[in-house]
Structure 1
Amino acid sequence: MAAKPTDPPITTTTAAVCPKENNKAMVYMDPSVDGANIANPNIAGSKTGTPCPYCANTKYFDPAPTDTFAGTDAINTYQCPDAQPLCLCDETKCYTETDKTVSVSLYPYCTAATDCSAYAILSAQQDTMGVGGANGIPVWTPDGTLDANFNFLPVTSGKYMKVSAISCGTCPVALTSPSCLPQPLTMAYLIRIINCFRVLK
């Protein structure tokens, strides 16, 4: 009996993904934030960034020299139009503005060569306004980001969101390709927990 020919091995290819780079903060910059009057480099400075070869909208930015934002060295400052709310994402979850007065300065900083992020320096009409999940509950706000002398706390204090993507209008941010970030983005859903107590008689 003749032997059956063996099937050729199955090979799979994986699309290249923009990797994190040492001493660089990586952010997906949706084209919507390039619109007129959205970015304001006069507030806290601006950085051009270097595009990722696998996704032009993902850019690498040089870090600021210190961990404390002092009104300079930002990637840029963004305030989206009323009809296109600001959307900020961490590594996997996205949050939308809770008020139209919310703006953000993205501040790049590295705690180590392999640990770099763009931190959200939020500003709004009230300190309780910021960005939140799909139910509108604020999660990240300017509240608690200033010391007694009204200077910003270090971005390493845990008071600031680490941003992997930004857009105006679409939330979660719609990546142009799976290659743009290491993980997909989804909208944050948060549940307010109310404690109920039963009175025993």
Structure 2
Amino acid sequence: MTDLLSAVDALTKPESEHHVIMSDYGVYRAPIYVRTHTVTHPPLLERLREAVNPSKNTAAGSSALASTRNLIDSDALYEYSKMASAIGSWCNAFKADRTRNPITDLRRWYVAFQQYDNEPQWYIDELRHWATLIRNILEPPKRIEITEPCPVCGKRAYTDQDGNELLFPVIVEYRAPKDEGDAIAPQALCRACQTVWKGYDAVAELAEELKQHADAHG
């Protein structure tokens, strides 16, 4: 159950980030370590709930316009509602007492789940998926549109969910590392044929194919 507990903890426990602070160059032209600054964030589920109405987190005395207050982040609300509903259903299924606080209820569900001889992998995958969704809402990945056609389907345009035809179906998404040395793999997607390139090697291969196409039609 270690993986399941880790997946539950990732959503329900505070997160700490450690930032190393260095001074200017010292006598030997090398940065000098000063200290490590630790920032603690609320649990992911709590941060998602707060993201539903970000204006509520505005500090007192803020000069935010009245028209910008009480705005609702519909994506955050949709995902939070789905997760809270699913957790409530899990609690009912495994006879865990509910409080209607998703953080408390998820941890109570975990305790109840251990009393049953069930395979936890589906729940592990689902909880990890939730954590990724929340992080993408809180810190959206950077996105680059590729102007060359998709090397798989050859299309230069795609149709969005509203039926609009748009140019440049291939996009690359990545998240800049917060700390030096962090490895965060990029991902590319063709919105026309739904081909996915995941990880550094796959995206590098895509870049080579795009370069070959550009050179051939240069």
> What interval of TM-score do these two structures reach, taking the shorter chain for normalisation?
under 0.3
Task: Look at both structures and tell me which one has the larger radius of gyration over its CA atoms.
Answer: 2
Which of the pair is proportionally richer in helix? 2
Q: TM-score normalised to the size of structure 2?
A: 0.21
Q: TM-score normalised to the size of structure 1?
A: 0.23
